[in-house]
């Protein structure tokens, strides 16, 4: 059963009650919230996501609760509650939906240690994955959002889930986070893209999330093997420029993007070395998505020759 098959009344009832059980990648989430914008966002962005069965193991229960005391009515707040605790400071209630997505990322990045976890976008073509690690503001998510509307499959916008034994990358395929100027760039590049309502004045500026195409969610069980590690950077007015990057330097930078690299120790080192050994490493700068698509499509074509 998919989320879109629930009536709006049933969706609200589950969120208000025992929880909405959603499968996203290899994880089953139980989501609870009385906040209307959370229900709206889930209905819009997760319609094609499968629902977990009642008998399925729940990996994470995420509650997006209202503020306490006067904060329920005066400048209302939203709180992320996990195991009875609130790991983050409350935010304004109209920030509830992006807070839900950030909280889900937090759950995975702090606990899913069966994977080597990297802060990176991952896209796939012909069974091969391109890992795109980059700091905030680099244009990583904009690039990712553009490419998945031009023939590349989304594995993840934020978290690379790497199996240390096989190096395969498991799809997560959750909504793509976009902010500030990226919103208009994607709307102009792909008018059919479905974006949630904008949330303004967050710590990241104006943010929203983009729905993952349905055909990507239908392939949640299809892993991919690493083939490219590409460090993207948006440079206003520049031509697309793809340059080889030394593997040793690329491995060091990937390790810096690891959420659990130190925790996994030798296992993480061996896995990361395997990823780098099997991948071509590049620096990539761009300003126009059409140019970026052409560069990535050439990489994909070369992998088949």
81-128 pLDDT tens trace: 998 889 999 999 999 999 999 999 999 999 999 999 999 999 999 999
Count, in order, helices (H) and strands (E) of the chain: 10, 16
State residue 295's pLDDT score: 97
pLDDT for 3-54, tens place per residue?
A: 999 999 999 999 999 999 999 999 999 999 999 999 999 999 999 999 998 8
Question: How do the domains of the chain map onto residue ranges?
Answer: 3-111, 116-303
State residue 70's pLDDT score: 67
- pTM for the structure as a whole: 0.95
Task: Report residue 304's pLDDT band, with 50, 70 and 90 as the boundaries.
Answer: confident
Q: Where are the beta strands (DSSP E) in 180-299?
A: 199-202, 205-210, 225-234, 241-244, 280-286
State residue 303's pLDDT score: 83
Query: What is the CA angle 61-174-14, rounded to 5?
Result: 40
- 214-237 mean pLDDT: 95
Name the helix (H) or strand (E) containing 214. helix 214-217
pLDDT for 47-71, tens place per residue?
A: 999 999 888 999 999 999 998 876 7
């Amino acid at each position: 059963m998919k989320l879109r098959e629930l009536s709006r009344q049933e969706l609200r009832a589950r969120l208000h009650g025992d929880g909405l059980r959603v499968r996203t990648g290899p994880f089953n989430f139980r989501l609870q919230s009385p906040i209307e914008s959370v229900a709206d966002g889930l209905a819009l962005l997760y319609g094609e996501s499968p629902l977990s069965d009642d008998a399925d193991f729940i990996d994470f229960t995420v509650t997006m609760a209202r503020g306490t005391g006067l904060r329920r009515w005066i400048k209302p707040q939203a709180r992320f509650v996990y195991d009875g605790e609130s790991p983050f400071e409350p935010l304004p209630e109209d920030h509830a939906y992006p807070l839900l997505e950030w909280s889900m990322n937090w759950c995975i990045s702090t606990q899913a240690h069966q994977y080597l976890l990297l802060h990176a976008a991952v896209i796939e073509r012909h069974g091969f994955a391109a890992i795109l690690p980059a700091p905030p503001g680099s244009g990583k998510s904009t690039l990712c959002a553009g490419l998945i509307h031009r023939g590349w499959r989304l594995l993840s916008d934020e978290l690379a889930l790497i199996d240390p034994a096989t190096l395969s990358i498991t799809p997560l395929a959750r909504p793509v986070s976009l902010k500030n100027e990226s919103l208009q760039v994607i709307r102009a590049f792909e008018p059919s893209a479905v974006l949630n309502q904008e949330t303004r004045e967050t710590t990241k500026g104006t943010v929203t999330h983009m729905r993952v195409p349905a055909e990507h969610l239908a392939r949640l069980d299809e892993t991919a093997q690493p083939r490219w590690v590409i460090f993207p950077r948006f440079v206003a007015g520049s031509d697309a420029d793809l340059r080889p990057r030394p593997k040793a330097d690329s491995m060091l930078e990937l390790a810096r993007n690891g959420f659990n690299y130190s925790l996994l120790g030798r296992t993480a080192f061996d896995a990361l070395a395997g990823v780098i050994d099997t991948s071509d490493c590049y620096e990539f700068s761009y300003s126009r998505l059409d140019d970026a698509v052409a560069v990535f499509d050439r990489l994909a074509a070369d992998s088949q020759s």
